[in-house]
Structure 1
Amino acid sequence: MKKKQKIQYSNYFSKLTDSLLFIIVSLLPFKQAARTSVLSKQWSHIWHSTKNIEFNENFFVNSQESEEKRGNQRRVFIEFAKKWILNFQESSIQNFILTCSDPGEFLTDIHDIIIFALDHNSKNLTLDFSDPQWDDCDIEEHPAIFDLPSKFYKHQFLESLKLASCKLRMSVFKFGSLKDLSLSWIELRGYDIQTLVNNCPLLESLTLIKCTGMYELEVSNPNSRLKKLVVDRCSFVFNTSISIDGPQLQIFKYSGKVGEFHIEGQKCIQEAELDFGLEEEFERLGDLLSDLLEQLDSAKVLTVDSYLLQVITHGNDPQYCGEGDLETKHLILKTALHANEFPGIKYLLESFTPLEKLTIEIGPLKVLRRYEPRYRFNPEGCWTKNLILYKDIEIDVKEAEVKGFKGTKNELFVLQYLLVLARSMEQMHIYLSREVGEDGSNVETYRQRTVEGVMKFRRSSKTLRISVN
């Protein structure tokens, strides 16, 4: 039966014209498009007309091999790209991706490959010359070495651009149609980001990953169309300083060290994600975190990490949030549910109300050097024995989900706290961890602990439904 179906499908595709097959193959990723060449004689040349081209050295170079072998493999990769380009007969392409971690030996060839993409009016261009083995902690040690050809700056068809480990000439970086820009492993100076935003009037999304050299990141333009800003593990010359005045900014994601944030026009922000995993100290930083949360009070979706949960109550006024006009409807906590995080969890849960949804993603703890809680906190006493003390406090959450649950004592403490105080909760979804514990515990062990714990807890909501998956 399967052989008959295969013949029928083969006959069906053989009736299609090449022009239709060109469309089909252009909908596939480049690697999958290449595989179609073995389907039949008709398909052998079709993939050479794809509109989505990706030359990725990772398809050729084995990172586990010796440096000499990797060099030979990279030469084969470059020769493949050059030969493929010679056989390409179409007038335009849609997407072009070039990935090469060591371009030094092939600068002329790579320039020619990029010119090919520009000459064929690629709208979406990705050029990545970074090395996956670079250490995130030493981003200053990996300066960009690749100079983009002059013709690149004259290409006005670009709508999406992703550059990694490239030298940029900011004075001529002007793209009138560009909507999506991502820069990584690139040195940025002075007002480079402000220049980018001003010179790209249609820019809607800006992503900065592991960029260096900035004294301050400033994005301020009353006519800016920027809707999304992502700053991921970038290195500042001195202290982190970010100033944003974006009248249409809706999404703000930050990962890095704590610093000074000045976010104007923040009432437009709908989604915010904060990750301070690079930070190791906690002293005197609670105030900065409180100020940042205040500036993001319009975010409907807010994600915070383990660091913030441990430090937020070290501010001068840890009761701030309860008096603010917070509009968060979905609060996401990335937490280890460690005792050091409990004051921050309790603080946020009693502040960000009402919530339509609470998500707890259980992961590793961010260990802080010389950490001392602001006040003594007995997890068992606070979450369980003294719950009666909070009879006037209500955690207004409609739906909760917990991911990576193992049924440990600390996890059950928090679960009980929610069940007792979330009087209006309608649904709770518990997703068990698939990790095998050091003691051999597995998903069935976690299930048994969880079910036994939940059965013992008192529930304030009479309509609550609990699922364990």
Structure 2
Amino acid sequence: MMARLNFRDAFTRTRICTRNCRVWNFTRAVWRLEISPSLWHLKDVTLAWIPLKLESIRTLLSTCEWMESLSLKNCWDIESFDIKKLELKKLVIDRCIIGTDYIGFEAPNLKVFKYCGSEPPGSEVKVVAGTIEEADLDLSPMDEFFACGNELRKFIRDFFAVNVLTVCSVILQGDEPVRLAEGLRVRHLKMKIQMHPQEFCGFFWFHNSCPRPKLQ
């Protein structure tokens, strides 16, 4: 099925092909979008390589009430990702430029969260223990860890209840206290190591912060 989105202040008008309630390709578009009724029942949406306003994200979420998965990849001009309540089951924020480096939301149904960015964002995230299954936190665009320990600890603590936690080499390189005081409920810890000598700090930090992790 073919459908259209109408854009205001757009660089180009872009066609979107939807198949089985999925947006497959959406690039090089605009600032504010008007969503056609033919797209209201979308379940899986990916927006990539476009300037994107927080207002547009909120409009998309409020209009597409059936949406279960939202992926934002290499988008820019996002002031912040400040959403009061998300009904999503999966959220991906991948290498997006967020002006205030802030992510805040309450997501009672969220099962999977993936973040990739050049620094840990300021965060106020509320997920539900027993519902959230997996979090993948990737700061590899940083290349090496620098002084952002407080933000990093807060970001990791927001996902204390996940069953599966994946962390990158940069996170493991953090020179942190012996353990997270509150502890983590993580059962499966996946570490993307690069044989950096500082990774041992993160290895022991996570080992001490998780009561019974299975390491991968």
Instruction: Report which of the two structures shows the higher radius of gyration computed on alpha carbons.
Output: 1
Aligned to 2:138: 275
> 1:351 aligns to what?
209
CA distance in 2, matches of 1:209, 1:303: 19
CA contact (8 A) 1:326 1:352 kept: yes
Equivalent in the alignment of 1:241: 102
One-letter identity of the residue aligned with 1:225: E
Q: Whole-Å Cα distance in 2 between the matches of residues 273 and 208 of structure 1?
A: 15
1:217 to 61, 75, 81: 81
2:40 pairs with 1:182: no
TM-score by length of 1: 0.41
The answer for the alignment partner of 2:66 in structure 1 is 202
Matched residue SS, 2:147 = coil
Give 1:158 shift.
Answer: 6.2
1:69-105 CA distance string (max 9 Å, x none): xxxxxxxxxxxxxxxxxxxxxxxxxxxxxxxxxxxxx
Given that residues 173 and 199 in structure 1 are in contact (C-alpha distance below 8 angstroms), is that contact kept between their aligned partners in structure 2?
no
**In the alignment, structure 1 residue 326 sits paired with structure 2 residue 145:** no
Q: Is the 8 A contact 2:161 2:186 kept in 1?
A: yes
Q: Does 1:167 align with 2:29?
A: yes
Give the letter aligned to residue 212 of structure 2: P
CA distance in 2 between partners of 1:257 and 1:264 (Å)? 22
Tell me which residue corresponds to 1:310: 173
Task: Trace 1:51-450 onto structure 2 (pairs within 5 A).
Answer: 117-118=1-2, 145-148=11-14, 159-167=21-29, 169-172=32-35, 175-221=39-85, 224-236=86-98, 238-258=99-119, 259-267=121-129, 268-280=131-143, 282-311=145-174, 313=176, 318-321=177-180, 323-355=181-213, 357-359=214-216
In the TM superposition, what is the alpha-carbon distance from 1:280 to its structure 2 partner?
Answer: 4.9
Local SS of the residue matching 2:2? helix
- Bigger relative CO (Cα 8 Å, ≥ 6 apart): 2
Give the Cα separation in 2 of the matches to 1:172 and 1:206.
15
Displacement of 1:219 in angstroms is 3.1
The one-character-per-residue Cα deviations of 1:329-352 (angstroms, maximum 9, x if unpaired) are 100011123221111111111221
Q: Tell me if structure 2 keeps the 8 A contact 1:173–1:196.
A: no
Pair 343,232 (structure 1): closer, same or farther in 2 beyond 3 Å: same
Name the amino acid aligned to 1:260. G
Return the TM-score normalized by structure 2.
Answer: 0.84
CA contact (8 A) 1:218 1:243 kept: yes
SS at match of 1:263: strand
Indicate conservation of the 8 Å contact 1:193/1:218, yes or no. Answer: no
| Number of corresponding residues | 207
Q: Distance in 2 between matches of 1:358 and 1:156?
A: 39
Q: Secondary structure at the match of 1:297?
A: coil
Q: For residue 185 of structure 1, what is the amino acid of its counterpart?
A: W
**TM superposition shift of 1:192:** 1.8
Write the distance in 2 (CA, Å) between the matches of 1:320 and 1:194. 37
Is the contact made by 1:159 and 1:179 (CA closer than 8 Å) also made in structure 2?
Answer: yes
Work out the CA distance in 2 between the residues paired with 1:253 and 1:244.
Answer: 14
User: Which whole-Å CA distance do the structure 2 matches of 1:348 and 1:325 have between them?
Assistant: 9
Question: What amino acid is the match of 2:133?
Answer: Q
Q: Which runs of 5+ in 1 are unaligned?
A: 1-116, 120-124, 126-143, 360-469
| Structure 2 unpaired stretches of 5+ | 5-9
In the alignment, the residues of structure 1 paired with residue 192 and residue 151 of structure 2 have an alpha-carbon distance, to the nearest angstrom, of 19
C-alpha distance in structure 2 between counterparts of 1:225 and 1:183, whole Å? 18
Which string of whole-angstrom CA distances, capped at 9 and with x for unpartnered residues, describes residues 394-413 of structure 1?
A: xxxxxxxxxxxxxxxxxxxx
Amino acid at match of 1:199: T
**Tell me, what secondary structure is at the counterpart of 1:242?**
strand
Q: Which whole-Å CA distance do the structure 2 matches of 1:185 and 1:290 have between them?
A: 29
CA distance in 1, matches of 2:139, 2:111: 21
The CA deviation at 1:250 is 1.0
Which one has the bigger helix percentage?
1
**Alpha-carbon shift at residue 311 of structure 1 (Å):** 1.7
